[in-house]
């Protein structure tokens, strides 16, 4: 239902009288006197330009002043701005700093824009015309691209479910989440284009991938969604990008794999930093996050074992053992990141090691 403002401004006699006074030249300029704090904002490194960290280099405007729980306002006022009386609440529900915050988000946001690429022209698509792929390899690559397209699209959905609930004081995180949405959109775009390039076709969707993505999308809280998406899913997306590049025989696929890796790695960097700061501030969250990742990793086992993923990987690498080694290494690196995030050793509770053992046998 649409929101209806508390008054009919077009019928507000006080407002109309004020407008008439201003139009007759009677400016009171109160807003000019209300500037509470001036700072000097200059690029700290000319080549980097004016960064978010540069304009945060003052406690008044920077994030150090954000309390753990925001009770001061729920309005649209940018952090550090003057709060007049009567501002409407925009209904933000994420008002706890540790629920969202990662110090690295500012750098990752700037990095995301600086390391941008445009699939339409950046990818050397015509290299695919000369690629020496068998028909089986060609279909296998298009199948992998189908899954990556699904992952990219759902990875735009996840931050979008939470960003509008987040207090304006966390604007750096909101900026970063918007960058994530754009990065994920680009991945969906690039891999859909790869699937369809030339005499192309999309492959078969995977029920198991759908289940994994649903588990992530329907996470109960933002910290759980962030851990599931950024830490778990994107650890494996990064590995898939590495595998895609590893399997490539041409410049287009090398380019796509490398860019998937670099973009996925920013998601991971935020995820590790976010969860580490969350559990550092509220240690009780360790078990809550670990409980959720138990469910997510169960979904991940389904996806890693699904025919729609493992079979094209086998076709492209020429054998099961190579894929098992790839999965094992991806899992090792994922577990290292969980430790770095403050979640401790997950191997004993995770379903992944048993799954990997099954592949080895």
**E strand residue ranges, the chain:** none
Binding of residue 322 to other proteins (CB under 8 A): yes
Nearer to other proteins, 262 or 290 (CB): 262
Beta bridge partners of 325: none
Binding of residue 269 to other proteins (CB under 8 A): yes
Stretch that binds other proteins, among 55-63, 248-256, 304-312, 348-356 (CB under 8 A): 248-256
Binding of residue 298 to other proteins (CB under 8 A): no
Smallest gap from Cβ 301 to other proteins, in A, equals 21
C-alpha–C-alpha distance, residues 117 and 132, integer Å: 26
Q: Are 220 and 226 in contact (CB under 8 A)?
A: no
Smallest gap from Cβ 123 to other proteins, in A, equals 13
Binding of residue 116 to other proteins (CB under 8 A): yes
Which residues, 6 or more positions from 88, have their beta carbon under 8 angstroms from its beta carbon?
A: 75
Helices 234-247, 320-340: crossing angle, 10 deg rounding: 140
Measured CA to CA in angstroms, residue 353 lies from 57, 139, 329 at distances of 45, 30, 11
Smallest gap from Cβ 108 to other proteins, in A, equals 9
Smallest gap from Cβ 187 to other proteins, in A, equals 15
**DSSP 3-state assignment of 148?**
helix
C-alpha–C-alpha distance, residues 331 and 351, integer Å: 11
Nearer to other proteins, 90 or 325 (CB): 325
Select from 98, 221, 258, 298 the one that contacts other proteins (CB under 8 A).
258
DSSP state of 63: G
Residue list 117-156, contact with other proteins (CB under 8 A): none
Q: Are 105 and 270 in contact (CB under 8 A)?
A: yes
- How many Cβ atoms are within 10 Å of 195's Cβ, its own excluded? 20
Binding of residue 257 to other proteins (CB under 8 A): yes
Closest CA to 173 of 274, 292, 89, 262: 274
Nearer to other proteins, 228 or 323 (CB): 323
Stretch that binds other proteins, among 28-36, 147-155, 261-269, 291-299 (CB under 8 A): 261-269
Closest CA to 205 of 259, 151, 129: 151
Nearer to other proteins, 192 or 259 (CB): 259
Helices 105-114, 171-196: crossing angle, 10 deg rounding: 40
Select from 19, 65, 339, 358 the one that contacts other proteins (CB under 8 A).
339
Nearer to other proteins, 43 or 88 (CB): 43
Nearer to other proteins, 94 or 240 (CB): 240
Residues in contact with other proteins, total (CB under 8 A)? 40
Binding of residue 325 to other proteins (CB under 8 A): yes
342: left (phi over 0), alpha (psi -120 to 50) or beta: left
C-alpha–C-alpha distance, residues 327 and 347, integer Å: 14
Q: What are phi and psi of 26, to 5 degrees?
A: -95, 80
Nearer to other proteins, 95 or 106 (CB): 106
Select from 97, 142, 259, 292 the one that contacts other proteins (CB under 8 A).
259
Which residues are near other proteins by CB under 8 A?
A: 45, 47-48, 107, 110-111, 114-116, 238, 242-243, 245-246, 248-250, 253-254, 257-259, 261-262, 264-266, 268-269, 272-273, 322, 325-326, 329, 333, 336-337, 339-340
């Amino acid at each position: 239902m649409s929101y209806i403002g508390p008054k009919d401004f077009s019928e507000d006699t006080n407002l109309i009288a004020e407008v008439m006074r201003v139009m007759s030249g009677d400016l009171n300029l109160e807003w000019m006197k209300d500037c509470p704090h001036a700072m000097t904002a200059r690029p700290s490194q000319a080549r980097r330009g004016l960064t978010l960290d540069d304009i945060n280099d003052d406690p008044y405007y920077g994030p150090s002043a954000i309390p753990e729980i925001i009770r001061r306002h729920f309005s649209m006022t940018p952090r550090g701005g003057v709060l007049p009386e009567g501002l409407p609440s925009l209904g933000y529900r994420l008002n706890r700093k540790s629920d969202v915050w990662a110090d690295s988000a500012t750098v990752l946001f700037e990095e995301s824009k600086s390391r941008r690429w445009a699939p339409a022209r950046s990818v050397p698509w015509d290299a695919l015309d000369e690629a020496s792929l068998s028909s089986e390899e060609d279909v296998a690559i298009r199948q992998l691209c189908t899954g990556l397209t699904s992952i990219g699209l759902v990875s735009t959905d996840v931050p979008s479910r939470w960003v509008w609930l987040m207090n304006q004081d966390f604007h750096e995180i909101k900026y970063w989440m918007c960058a994530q949405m754009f990065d994920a959109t680009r991945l969906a775009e690039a891999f859909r284009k790869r699937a369809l390039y030339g005499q192309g076709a999309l492959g078969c969707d995977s029920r198991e991938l759908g289940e994994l993505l649903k588990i992530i999308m329907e996470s109960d809280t933002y910290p759980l969604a962030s851990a599931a998406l950024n830490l778990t899913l994107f650890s494996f997306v990064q590995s898939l990008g590495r595998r895609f590049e590893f399997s490539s025989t041409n410049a287009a696929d090398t380019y796509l794999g490398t860019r998937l890796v670099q973009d996925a790695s920013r998601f991971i960097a935020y995820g590790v930093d976010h969860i580490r700061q969350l559990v550092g501030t509220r240690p009780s969250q360790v078990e809550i996050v670990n409980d959720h990742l138990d469910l997510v990793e169960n979904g991940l086992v389904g996806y890693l074992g699904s025919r729609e993923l493992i079979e094209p990987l086998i076709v492209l690498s020429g054998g099961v053992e190579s894929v098992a080694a790839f999965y094992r290494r991806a899992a090792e690196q994922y577990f290292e990141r969980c430790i770095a995030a403050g979640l401790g050793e997950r191997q004993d509770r995770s379903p992944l090691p048993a799954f990997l053992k099954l592949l080895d046998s």
